[in-house]
Amino acid sequence: MEPLTLRGRMQMAALRKQRSKSKTKHRRNGMKTMQESFKRLKMEMEEISEEQKNIREGQRQVKEKFEAIESECEELKRETRLIIQQSARTQVKLALMFRILKAREAGDFNIAAHFTEILRLVSQCWFVLAFFSWLLIYVGDDWKHPGIHAITQLTVY
């Protein structure tokens, strides 16, 4: 091919045109491929977004269930404490009643009267109950203990 001749120039132009069409065709195919990959990526991103929404929803539900279980646990703890307190009150009241009976059997009506007063106090105030339960545990069956003597000297207003 002689580039300087007319025939050579025409052939060169034809080749250029052919190469141009080939490049355009490749460019179009490249654009189609790129558009398809963009569409595919977009669909994948939407799927991932949907999966993330489902995960967040699941986490929210788990959190709600956990909080419900936690509040139920706290409620059960409160109820258990209340039952323990009631049981302790009952135990102390029974111990006082037993001591009242023992004092009456022994003929100590003065001590029995004071234990009866204490029983009334315990029925009215749980703080007093706590103190007397400690005292009964600490003193035990020692009727002549100074603590018991001090209690029998109390007057209730």
Any idea where the domains of the chain sit in the sequence?
Answer: 6-152
Taking all residues of the chain, what is their mean pLDDT, rounded to a whole number? Answer: 77
Residue 113 has pLDDT above 60, yes or no: yes
What are the angstrom distances between the C-alpha of 47 and each of 41, 42, 60, 71? 10, 9, 20, 36
* Residues 107, 35: Cα–Cα separation, whole Å: 107
Give pLDDT, residue 135.
Answer: 61
* Residues 34, 32: Cα–Cα separation, whole Å: 5
What's the pLDDT band for 131 if we cut at 50, 70, 90?
low
Q: State if pTM tops 0.85.
A: no
What's the pLDDT band for 157 if we cut at 50, 70, 90?
very low
| Degrees to nearest 5, angle at CA 97 with 96 and 103 | 85
Identify the residue with better confidence: 147 or 13: 13
